[in-house]
């Protein structure tokens, strides 16, 4: 799963790495502890041009609320628990099945946190990121929701929201018996779910709003997920990340020796 992550890049850096464009007034808030319901950057593609023969596909960076609110929802609280979308059921679940057909996006992160269950009920936080420090782009979905309490055209009358696709994590025993990278086994021991990373090769098709076969796209990105995750590294961090009140680069530091019972989020 993915319940917290880091995104502290500048708008210019993100636009360059995503090979996208952004509104000149777009401002991204740096955070080392991004939590569901936060405003987060997303990369999506849409067609622009008034006449059919002039329409072209453009890749853009927008800001969305993390927690997908389907267009039919009565209020925005519907997105509180929809921050992850299971790849196995995304084509059938009412919350996600419309978005996966033509409103797919990429959610850029520098890394994400996962909590490993220990003895008893203790959980220890780990930070997962690409070993080369580059951004990871998770497969995501987005939706536009109109607030019925606001007049058409009123500021804030439309909400853009997003969710991150997840899949089964690698099986540690299978990974070790096959002699695959140790990081994959470590990911499987960390949690039984993982966010789905997009390869640079699969990202254009995933973002294409006119792609004809959503099921094939989901299958493709999930099939490549473990291969992309082999580029990752993970390490334990301190328990301070367990509170959303804490935010800053110090959250990425190793835990102090006496930190034996991390806070739960």
* φ, ψ of residue 15 in degrees (nearest 5): -60, -40
For 176, half-sphere exposure in the C-beta direction (CA atoms, 13 angstrom radius) is 8
What pLDDT does residue 48 have? 84
Among 195, 239, 244, 242, which residue's Cα sits nearest to residue 221?
A: 195
What pLDDT does residue 101 have? 96
| CA–CA–CA angle 207, 209, 215 (5° rounding) | 80
What are the E-state strand segments in 1-122? 4-7, 31-34, 39-48, 56-66, 84-86, 104-109, 111-117
What pLDDT does residue 38 have? 96
- DSSP assigned state of 51: S
Percent pLDDT > 90 in the chain is 82
- DSSP assigned state of 185: H
What count of other Cβ atoms lies within 10 Å of the Cβ of residue 154?
10
Stated pTM of the model: 0.93
Give whole-number Cα distances, 242 to 39, 134, 139, 163, 258, in Å.
19, 24, 25, 21, 16
What pLDDT does residue 22 have? 92
**CA gap 244, 81 in Å, rounded:** 16
What pLDDT does residue 264 have? 53
Count helices and strands in the chain by DSSP H and E runs: 6, 12
Given a cut of 50, the residues of the chain with pLDDT beneath it are 260
Q: What stretches of 191-255 show up as alpha helix (H) in DSSP? A: 203-207, 214-229
**CA gap 26, 24 in Å, rounded:** 6
């Amino acid at each position: 799963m993915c319940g917290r992550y880091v995104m502290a890049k500048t708008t210019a850096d993100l636009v360059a790495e995503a090979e996208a464009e952004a509104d000149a007034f777009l401002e991204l808030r740096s955070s080392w502890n991004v939590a569901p319901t936060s405003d987060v950057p997303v990369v999506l593609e849409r067609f622009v041009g008034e006449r059919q023969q002039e329409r072209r596909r453009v890749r853009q960076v927008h800001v969305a609320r993390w927690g997908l609110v389907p267009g039919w929802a009565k209020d925005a609280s519907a997105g509180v628990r929809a921050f992850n979308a299971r790849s196995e059921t995304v084509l059938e679940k009412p919350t996600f099945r419309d978005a996966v057909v033509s409103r797919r996006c990429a959610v850029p992160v520098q890394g994400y946190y996962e909590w490993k269950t220990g003895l008893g009920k203790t959980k220890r936080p780990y930070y997962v990121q690409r070993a080369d420090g580059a951004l990871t782009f998770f497969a995501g979905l987005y939706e536009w929701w109109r607030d019925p309490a606001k007049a058409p055209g009123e500021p804030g009358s439309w909400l853009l929201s997003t969710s991150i696709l997840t899949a089964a994590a690698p099986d540690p025993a299978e990974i070790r018996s096959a002699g695959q990278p140790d990081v994959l086994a470590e990911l499987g021991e960390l949690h039984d779910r993982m966010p789905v990373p997009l390869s640079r090769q699969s990202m254009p098709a995933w973002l294409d709003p006119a792609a004809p076969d959503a099921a094939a796209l989901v299958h493709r990105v999930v099939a490549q997920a473990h291969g992309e995750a082999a580029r990752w590294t993970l390490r334990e961090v301190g328990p301070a990340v367990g509170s959303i009140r804490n935010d800053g680069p110090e959250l990425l530091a190793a835990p102090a020796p006496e930190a034996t019972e991390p806070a739960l989020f």
